[in-house]
Amino acid sequence: MAESVTIARPYAQAVFRLAKEGRSLAEWSRRLQRLAAIAGDAGMSDLIGNPKFSARRIADLFMALSGEPENRELAAFVALLADNGRFDVLAEISALFESLKSADEGVRDAVVTSAFPLDEPALAALLKKLETHFGGRLQGRVEVDPSLIGGVRVAVGDRIFDASVRGKLDAMAAALKN
């Protein structure tokens, strides 16, 4: 995994610069997600690793499936991936691009750990309230950890906001020991 991220990073950075200069971050975000979905398809995965199919032929197939077969920038990117045999890291390229895009837009990733699953409206409301605490816009994903008993623990970068029952019990136990 770490190796594929290392391989994907320069591609993601290059596409990000291209998209930023062309003011097309949202379009490239959609394109990369679509390409990653194509590459993740089981049938396409078999073709990518099959020596019977040339890189150029696979690139043509990607372009046909992309929904933008006439886009020159996208065609050049797909051709670059084909020439270097990098279709297998498209998911990582897309994820890294999204991280760069979020950082550029001032949006930070939050990991919300909850004792129970949270639906989208509850997550959105929680993140909205926490934006002032963390000083910026947040986008989050939920992880469920029943050992928290109740409440949530939110991690944004290296900062933690712990409003869980487990966190409060641990803090009381530490205070009683001192």
Q: What CATH number is attached to the domain comprising 131?
A: 3.40.30
Percent of the chain with pLDDT over 70: 99
13 and 49 co-located in one domain: yes
Residue 149 has a CB neighbour count (10 Å cut-off) of: 13
Q: Are 116 and 148 in contact (CB under 8 A)?
A: no
20 and 64 co-located in one domain: yes
> Mean pLDDT across the chain, nearest whole number?
92
82 and 146 co-located in one domain: no
Domain boundary among 102, 136, 154: 102
71 and 130 co-located in one domain: no
Question: Could you tell me the residue range of the domain that residue 60 belongs to?
Answer: 2-102
Q: Which residue shows structure tokens 């046909």?
A: 64
In the prediction, which pLDDT does 2 show?
A: 63
127 and 46 co-located in one domain: no
The set of residues, in sequence order, having a beta carbon less than 8 Å from that of 149 and lying 6+ positions away, is: 115, 164, 165, 166, 169
SS3 assignment, position 50: coil
Q: With bands split at pLDDT 50, 70 and 90, how would you rate the model's confidence at 47?
A: confident
25 and 67 co-located in one domain: yes
What is the spatial distance between Cα 166 and Cα 148, in angstroms, rounded to a whole number? 5
121 and 138 co-located in one domain: yes
Domain boundary among 48, 67, 102: 102
Q: Residue 146 pLDDT > 90, yes or no? A: yes
If one counts the domains in the chain, the total is 2
Buried b (16+ CB within 10 A) or exposed e, 93-106: bbbbbbebbbeeee
130 and 159 co-located in one domain: yes
In the prediction, which pLDDT does 31 show?
A: 96
Q: With bands split at pLDDT 50, 70 and 90, how would you rate the model's confidence at 135?
A: confident
152 and 114 co-located in one domain: yes
75 and 131 co-located in one domain: no
Residue 121's alpha-carbon distances to 56, 78, 89, 118, 140, in angstroms, are 45, 37, 33, 8, 12
